[in-house]
Chains A and B, each alone.
Chain A
Amino acid sequence: MSNQQVEAAPTQPKVENPRVKAAKDFYRRLKKNVPALIGFYTILILVIFSIIGPWMLSTDPSDTDVINKFAGPSAEHWFGTDHLGRDIFTRIIHGMKLTLGIGFASVFMGAAMGIPIGIIAGYYGGKIDAVIMRFIDILLAFPGILLALAIVSILGGSLVNVTIAVAIYAIPGFARIIRGSTLAAKNLEYVDAIKALGAGDGRIIFKHILPNVLSPVIVNATLYIATAILTAAGLSFLGMGAQPPQPEWGAMLNDGRSYMRDAGHIAFFPGMAIVIVVLAFNIFGDGLRDALDPKMKK
């Protein structure tokens, strides 16, 4: 017995190899995917900007310049000013951390709830699975922004409540994907082998199933951040999210809609900002999916 263990030790790095190889393989394929890299670096730059941007600007997002109301883009006000004479560029930079924050926080919370639900449903199956999936079906019966809208109607309008609403709206998607992957992973031979060796459910789930189902989670999460940002901006646009004077992009669009006739730039730039951020997440998510998809390995 002890002999065997001694012999097994030198082969340890080789056992690690497949995962390292898979990771290397993944980076290689991701690097080849130029749009995905552009998406990734755009996100990185945006995150950095959202943190240091507000310090680099000398202007305050709430500073009003009554004489320069509705001013179009100029050297002084890059994106012009809004109906109160506030600098739109400054507001967009300050609003970036709100938008990204809502996106990351809601998807993180949604995943934190959806993953355990999906794993439990997929791993234990039977009645537990049936009950959980029926509940998920019920949540999925509220399409698009509707569930988030219903939740905000209960909780009341604020950025925190929008984040919670979008997180709850993300749960069914995560739960479903994870359940599917768990079902597939559960039936792999090596899981049977570990079970035969006496591993408990917790060990099997955390050490063997979770790592196997993570790649669809990562792809889903990335693409989901895009949806979350759009949904949150939509709620703020309807006046149910950010409250004035918060420089949230959806709320800024809502400010601008009354002045479309004379000052279209007030709504144009915040919308463009949303498009760029969402686009970056969508491209990066697409690239991740391609890089992680075994079918695309060729």
Chain B
Amino acid sequence: MTVYIIRRVLQLIPVLLGVSILVFSLMHLTPGNPAQLMAGESAPPDTIEQIEESLGLNDPLPVQYWDYISGVVQGDLGTSMRYNTPVADEVWPKFKVTLELSIYSTILSIFMGLLAGIISAVRQYSISDITIMIIALFGLSMPNFWLGLMLIQWFAVNLGWFPPTGWEGPSSIVLPVISLGTAGAAIIARMTRSSMLDVISQDYIRTARAKGVKKRVIIYKHALKNALIPVVTVAGLQFGALLAGAVLTESVFAINGMGRLLVDSIIQRDFPVVQACILIIAVVFVVVNLIVDISYKFLNKRIDLND
């Protein structure tokens, strides 16, 4: 197990390196000169040269990348072009908000998805199964930003139960979390259902049933444990999708998180901030997936740890 974990962590290094190179290239692949963008259209050539010098834009690309990555490793994410402040100061408080939103939404997805998926599988082809699967299909097909707008319309504007925007206090998080978590819940419900059905049809469940074990015990003790294994992977992937999907949810609910910062910075062409946001989301996603992979192997003892 330890060897497996170490190997997986080592395998992470080339991926993280690649991610950082791609993110670093963002600024250089963009048409136009970043210094020109920073100084504005009508800036004199002297100013642009100065900025180029201070940003190190005249150095060879590998040198620039080295400067960038050694800064990142030390927590220096560069300087915001818009505010001329360290990007890290700008990003971290907002990252906290986005992380909270994603974690709550993931919890909601897993809870709702498991519950719905188990009910569906246990009562296959019943009215409740069909209803749940239809709702799940809708949940999967709905843009989360539209769902968010509709939730605001019904529960904030018409009923006044929740504030329409913001991220302060428990009542303000309800609508964004539902809006972001619904698609994930739908995906997990469908996965749980098919995985449960797979497991239920297996010999050992039939044996348990033939032995006279109670249905409840079979489902929760014998079947669910094995059915959960593929669900864990999906839940991990969902967390990443939610982290990125938060970009849209934050925009709808005017939440001051990293997603909104990312969108604003793209529009303002504040590349250091864009790079930092994308890099952070990607790194968190990769690390979460690593944890999921490791727990997957841990849960499923049948898998050979050497592959």
Q: Are A154 and B29 in contact (CB under 8 A)?
A: yes
Q: How far is the CB of A260 from chain B (nearest CB, A)?
A: 5
Q: Are A234 and B285 in contact (CB under 8 A)?
A: no
| Cβ contacts under 8 Å, A230 to chain B | 141, 143
Of chain B, the residue at the smallest CB distance from A273 is B146
Q: Are A145 and B244 in contact (CB under 8 A)?
A: yes
Q: How many A-B residue pairs have CB under 8 A?
A: 135
Q: Are A238 and B138 in contact (CB under 8 A)?
A: no
Q: Are A154 and B143 in contact (CB under 8 A)?
A: no
Q: Are A138 and B18 in contact (CB under 8 A)?
A: yes
Asked whether A141 and B137 contact (CB < 8 A) given A274-B143, A275-B146, the answer is: no
Q: Are B251 and A141 in contact (CB under 8 A)?
A: no
Q: Are A271 and B240 in contact (CB under 8 A)?
A: no
| Cβ contacts under 8 Å, A222 to chain B | none
Q: How far is the CB of A166 from chain B (nearest CB, A)?
A: 14
Q: Which of B147-155, B166-174, B216-224 contacts A (4 or more CB under 8 A)?
A: B147-155
| Cβ contacts under 8 Å, B285 to chain A | 141-143
Q: Are B252 and A234 in contact (CB under 8 A)?
A: no
Contact of A260 among B19, B30, B157 (CB under 8 A): B157
Within 8 Å of chain A (Cβ to Cβ): is B189? no
**A: interface residue count bin:** 35 or more
Of chain A, the residue at the smallest CB distance from B186 is A282
Which residues of B from 12 to 29 have beta carbons under 8 Å from A?
14-15, 18-19, 22-23, 26, 29
Within 8 Å of chain B (Cβ to Cβ): is A36? no
Asked whether A146 and B274 contact (CB < 8 A) given A260-B149, A267-B149, A271-B146, the answer is: no
Within 8 Å of chain A (Cβ to Cβ): is B188? no
Q: How far is the CB of A168 from chain B (nearest CB, A)?
A: 11
Asked whether A238 and B18 contact (CB < 8 A) given A150-B26, A154-B30, the answer is: no
**Residues of chain B whose beta carbon lies under 8 Å from any beta carbon of chain A:** 14-15, 18-19, 22-23, 26, 29-31, 137-138, 140-143, 145-146, 149-150, 152-153, 157, 164, 237, 240-245, 247-248, 251-252, 262-263, 266-267, 274, 278, 281-282, 285-286
**Residues of chain A whose beta carbon lies under 8 Å from any beta carbon of chain B:** 134-135, 137-138, 141-146, 149-150, 152-154, 156, 226, 230, 233-234, 237-240, 250, 253, 256-257, 260-261, 264, 267-268, 270-271, 274-275, 278-279, 282-283, 286
- Apart from A226-B141, A260-B157, list 11 A-B contacts with CB within 8 A: A141-B15, A142-B19, A142-B281, A143-B285, A144-B241, A144-B242, A237-B143, A239-B267, A271-B142, A274-B143, A282-B141
